[in-house]
Structure 1
Amino acid sequence: MKAALYRRTGPAAEVLSVEDVETPEPGPGQVRVRITGSGVNPTDWKTRAGLTGQDPEGFQIPHQDGVGVVDAVGDGVDTSLSGQRVWLQLAAFGNRYGTAAEYAVVPAERATPLPGDAPDDLGACLGVPAVTAAHCLLVRGHGREALRGATVLVAGGAGAVGHYAIELAKHAGARVVTTVSSEEKGELARAAGADLVVNYREDGAVDRVREFAPHADRIVEVALGANLELDLAVSGAGTVIAVYANEPDDPVIPTRRLMVANTAISYVLLYGVPADELAEATAWTADGAAAGALSPLPVTRYALDDIVAAHEAVENGAVGKVVVVP
């Protein structure tokens, strides 16, 4: 099969290549998926660049997310999965066969059926962003039902995680306010269903958020250090700040102010989420897709041969979703 891969970490142009490798066979508990779209996340380029670990053993086909059709199943896997369209998550986690190839082999639990009327673009956009958003909304909570009538603040509502945090929160019946940095991004956040969109660079932004949400029940946070003052301004007893991204410098945590407010910070990294909580977030994401509550991000497509350009686009902060098509 044709696959993009790297044998050592480093800059995209220096380490990524497209080669013919042997098509893998699914082992026990695994499925093989013919990939129709491979979603690129920031974690993919950071891993390829060497920011998250060591060089791979042998080779690594990158990308955690994707969409495709199950074409073979291993022992112990329900044969009815064969022929189903699925979306993938964490495909390259502990596995050399990520989705940047014509085929990927993954544990069956990492392949979730995609509703028949959902476009491939949606399947390619789910995975890490949507499941992260779901877990951020659920962590330290009482299930999705508890979000009905709650107030949610989503930082960075035009980003991939922010997009799905808005859509899932609205699907659960919450009120949602989100912050963005431009009018273009504001349009994306409004299209996702946010009740209020605030440009945090404009004067009076904090007051506008507080007027809508004097007390946020949950905050989905992309930049804790940069946004901590706003988060604290709308935090109170029971507020959970779910942080899913890091920053170049660790923020100073104002412990006393958080204690007085009885506010909790919960850090979210999907790779270490307990299996039962990951399954709950995945199931909610699947339910949202089946209900038509989730939409694709704006997609920019690259051919597999253009894998370097695709990685560089994400590394440079591309808005929406970069999808590599084998």
Structure 2
Amino acid sequence: MKSVVYTRTGGPEVLQLVDRQVPEVPPGHVRVRVVVSGVNPTDWRWRSGQSSALRFAEQVPHQDGAGVVDEVADDVTELRAGDRVWLWETAFGRPTGTAQEFVVIPARHAVPLPPNASFELGAALGIPALTAHRMLTVGPEAPNRLAPGALSGTSVLVHGGAGAVGNAAVQLAVWAGATVIATVSNARKEELARHAGAQHVVNYRQDNVAERVLSVAPEGVAIIAEVDLAANLSTDIAAIATNGVISLCTYGSGELLPIPSAPLLAKSVSLCCVYTYHTPRQAKLNAIADVNQAVADGGFRVGDVHGLPLVHYPLHQVAEAHAAVEQGAVVGKVVIDVGAGE
């Protein structure tokens, strides 16, 4: 089978396309024929060594993907060969990412894909959707689960509403009944955020975000999904409601940020760092179930008309795909076409 691997950290050039044996399936595992692999910023951060050192002699990148179950271990009863599935955290603590034709993973990391969902959609879930779910549910007054009506009466501010995590946060929050305000940097991204379902969109380069937010939610928003705390902290302090939560899911390299304690204390604000790999087990199970239900309900979709354009690369161009994501050269979700579908 064809696999993309790297044996040292560095730039996209460390990625190599190689031939490997199709792996056997140990107890508790399934083998999935990968159709589409999803690329996330976490993939290039790991490959570059920015997030962690190389743990295995040979690493296949990419946490997310979708495909068809090829074989199941004898002790696996919840899945069977031929099932369409989406995959999450396949390479966390393992050398087995989805940038290859077949991947063997613990059975719980393969989730039945709803009949209405494409493999492209399945490959776009994983890191972005599970991160967004945690950001919307981690606050002290937030619901533990998302479902239609769970966020009714709640206002949510999503920074970077046209990014993959931002798009997921917008779609999930709208599906759960929230009023969503999204920030963007240009007219194209404003269009995408509106397509995702955001009822209010603010161009942060042209408008005063805090003023616009407070015109929609005079008492402030209950939840802020944050992707650039250093740039947005003063805005967030002004826009957050009492007992609100600022959920942070990423960082700038080398970033050091003084925290203004007094205004945060005055509102009893929670500042939560969301690193999806460390989400508590039950919260992760809740997120998987809720995201899958949102997909089944049509509340989470991909493509231009749903605010998340898909940019396709073939398996032999994974290095180019990594470079595009790392350089911010594309708007939308980068996916790798690994194999044929049905």
For the Cα contact (< 8 Å) 1:5–1:62, is it kept in 2? yes
Q: Which moved more, 1:115-124 or 1:153-162?
A: 115-124
- Which secondary structure does the structure 2 equivalent of 1:239 belong to? strand
- Which secondary structure does the structure 1 equivalent of 2:3 belong to? strand
- How much does 1:217 deviate? 0.8
TM-score by length of 1: 0.97
The AA in structure 2 aligned to 1:307 is: V
- Determine the C-alpha separation between the residues in 1 that align with 2:273 and 2:82: 37
- Which secondary structure does the structure 1 equivalent of 2:240 belong to? coil
- How much does 1:146 deviate? 4.3
- How much does 1:97 deviate? 1.2
Kindly indicate whether residue 206 of structure 2 is the aligned counterpart of residue 202 of structure 1. Answer: yes
Q: Paired residue for 2:49?
A: 50
Q: Paired residue for 1:9?
A: 9
Q: Paired residue for 1:250?
A: 256
Q: Paired residue for 1:312?
A: 323
CA deviation string 1:5-52 (max 9, x = no partner): 001111111x11000011112222211110000000000011011112
Q: Which moved more, 1:184-193 or 1:200-209?
A: 200-209
CA deviation string 1:188-211 (max 9, x = no partner): 100000010000011433311220
- Determine the C-alpha separation between the residues in 2 that align with 1:80 and 1:274: 24
For the Cα contact (< 8 Å) 1:73–1:79, is it kept in 2? no
- Determine the C-alpha separation between the residues in 2 that align with 1:34 and 1:57: 23
- Determine the C-alpha separation between the residues in 2 that align with 1:3 and 1:63: 11
Which of 262, 268, 271 lines up with 1:262 in the alignment? Answer: 268
- How much does 1:236 deviate? 2.6
- How much does 1:79 deviate? 5.7
Q: Structure 2 vs 1, CA of residues 80 and 87 (structure 1 numbering), >3 Å: closer, same or farther?
A: closer
- Determine the C-alpha separation between the residues in 1 that align with 2:194 and 2:158: 12
Alignment of structure 1 residues 1-326 onto 2, 5 Å: 1-13=1-13, 15-78=14-77, 80-140=79-139, 141-143=142-144, 144=146, 146-214=150-218, 215-248=220-253, 249-296=255-302, 297-317=308-328, 318-326=330-338
For the Cα contact (< 8 Å) 2:228–2:251, is it kept in 1? yes
- Which secondary structure does the structure 1 equivalent of 2:30 belong to? strand
- Determine the C-alpha separation between the residues in 2 that align with 1:242 and 1:304: 34
- How much does 1:311 deviate? 0.8
- Which secondary structure does the structure 2 equivalent of 1:217 belong to? strand
Segments of 5+ residues of structure 1 without an aligned counterpart are none
- Which secondary structure does the structure 1 equivalent of 2:54 belong to? coil
- How much does 1:115 deviate? 1.0
- Determine the C-alpha separation between the residues in 2 that align with 1:75 and 1:266: 41
- How much does 1:111 deviate? 1.1
- Determine the C-alpha separation between the residues in 1 that align with 2:78 and 2:128: 28
The AA in structure 2 aligned to 1:313 is: A
- Determine the C-alpha separation between the residues in 2 that align with 1:285 and 1:2: 30
- How much does 1:257 deviate? 1.1
Q: Which moved more, 1:243-252 or 1:270-279?
A: 243-252
Q: How many residues align?
A: 325
Structure 1 segments, 4+ long, off by >3 Å, are none
- Determine the C-alpha separation between the residues in 1 that align with 2:223 and 2:74: 42
Q: Which moved more, 1:66-75 or 1:205-214?
A: 205-214
Instruction: Report sequence identity in percent.
Output: 46
- Which secondary structure does the structure 2 equivalent of 1:52 belong to? coil
For the Cα contact (< 8 Å) 1:31–1:73, is it kept in 2? yes
The AA in structure 2 aligned to 1:274 is: P
Q: Structure 2 vs 1, CA of residues 168 and 230 (structure 1 numbering), >3 Å: closer, same or farther?
A: same
- Determine the C-alpha separation between the residues in 2 that align with 1:197 and 1:265: 23
- Determine the C-alpha separation between the residues in 2 that align with 1:82 and 1:154: 39
For the Cα contact (< 8 Å) 1:7–1:56, is it kept in 2? no
The AA in structure 1 aligned to 2:294 is: G
- Determine the C-alpha separation between the residues in 2 that align with 1:123 and 1:74: 23
The AA in structure 2 aligned to 1:226 is: A
TM-score by length of 2: 0.92
- Which secondary structure does the structure 2 equivalent of 1:302 belong to? strand
CA deviation string 1:59-80 (max 9, x = no partner): 0000000010111112421164
CA deviation string 1:156-180 (max 9, x = no partner): 0000011011111111111000100
- Determine the C-alpha separation between the residues in 2 that align with 1:321 and 1:146: 27
The AA in structure 2 aligned to 1:53 is: S
For the Cα contact (< 8 Å) 1:33–1:105, is it kept in 2? yes
- Which secondary structure does the structure 2 equivalent of 1:238 belong to? strand
Q: Which moved more, 1:191-200 or 1:79-88?
A: 79-88
